[in-house]
Amino acid sequence: MALRAIGAIIVFFVLGLLLFFIGLTPFARQLSGGVSAGELARNPPLAFALAQGAGLLVAFGIATWLVGVKLLKLDARALRWRVSVGRLRAFGMGLLLGALPAVLAMVLGVLAAGAGWVHDTGGPTDYAGGVVKTVVLLAPAALAEEVMFRGVPLVVLARLIGRPAALVGLAILFGLAHLDNPDVSARAIGNIALAGILLSLAFFTAGGMWTAFGAHLGWNATLAALGAPVSGLPFDIPFIDYTMGGPAWLTGGAFGPEGGLLGTVAITAAIVVVTRWARKDET
């Protein structure tokens, strides 16, 4: 039983990544616009970033169907797509769960570390358009990462070794998956792993995958919309910009709030809140 479960998880990741690379590689040159590998990692063209997120979502969606549904006989309720609350409500709860700690981390930066907002080029209309474009860009990638790390692997591991161990194990893997991000640090990887615990707890609330997806998108989109880098990736949002202040170990520096101690405080506060939600849903 244990070997079958572990083998299924390995097959899930290998199959998903294989499908992703097979699907994206033929179009990589056109989508990348001919930029260097370093620039591609730091500031990818919009078409490439969108294709990357959508490609991962499709690839791991297929892997979920083949491994999770066909091989392991997991249905939509077991994978927490079919939930006991309305999907829109569950998604909205997730958005708040992600957005509020993001705002908290940035406000703490203003109060404690000299961070702040400054005026950037463009006006309110440009800002609204930039935010919409950024949310459209971030949404497929956020959902893809939830399907990868909070879908089949979390369900299978939780049944095999229990929720707490599964949460920690996949959170560590989630953190390590961001090792190649620009300006990454050990503190940043630790915070991303902590965010992985938050997202896994959200997955086990009554809102299931919809709440986890909302929380992931809420955190990323709020940071980007308020002018901060997201996991080391800067977003060109008109009208406002967020200066991180310092020191970097406190604010996160160029990596964004996820890289600093203030981010740790904000994510931990969100974990305390969502733990109460998760306890109410033990299905």
Q: Which domain holds residue 203?
A: 84-279
Query: Is 67 inside any structural domain?
Result: no
Question: Would you give per-residue pLDDT tens digits along the chain (283 residues)?
Answer: 788 889 999 999 999 999 999 988 777 777 666 666 556 556 666 777 888 999 999 999 999 999 999 999 999 999 999 998 899 999 999 999 999 999 999 999 999 999 999 998 889 999 999 999 999 999 999 999 999 999 999 999 999 999 999 999 999 999 999 999 999 999 999 999 999 999 999 999 999 999 999 999 999 999 999 999 999 998 889 999 999 999 999 999 999 999 999 999 999 999 999 998 776 555 4
Query: Is 163 inside any structural domain?
Result: yes
User: What are the residues whose beta carbons fall under 8 Å from the beta carbon of 268, sequence distance 6 or more?
Assistant: 194
Query: Is 231 inside any structural domain?
Result: yes
Per the structure block, which two tokens stand in for 200? 């896994």
Alpha helices per DSSP H over 115-207: 124-149, 152-161, 163-176, 186-203
Query: Is 33 inside any structural domain?
Result: no
53 contacts 146 by C-beta, under 8 angstroms? no
Q: What is the pTM of this model?
A: 0.93
Query: Is 97 inside any structural domain?
Result: yes
- pLDDT tens digits, one per residue of 155-176: 999 999 999 999 999 999 999 9
Q: What is the rounded distance in angstroms from the CA atom of residue 200 to the CA atom of residue 72? A: 20
Query: Is 173 inside any structural domain?
Result: yes
Residue with tokens 């080029």: 121
Residue type, 171: A
Q: Spell out where the chain has E strands.
A: 116-119, 240-243
Query: Is 13 inside any structural domain?
Result: no
DSSP 69: I
Query: Is 113 inside any structural domain?
Result: yes
Number of separate domains in the chain: 1
Residue with tokens 């705002």: 103
User: What are the residues whose beta carbons fall under 8 Å from the beta carbon of 214, sequence distance 6 or more?
Assistant: 90, 91, 92, 93, 94, 95, 96, 97, 98, 202, 207
Residue with tokens 């063209």: 45
Three-class DSSP category at 243:
strand
- pLDDT tens digits, one per residue of 206-257: 999 999 999 999 999 999 999 999 999 988 899 999 999 999 999 999 999 9
Q: How far apart are the first and last CA of the chain?
A: 21
Cα 225 to its chain centre, rounded Å, is: 15
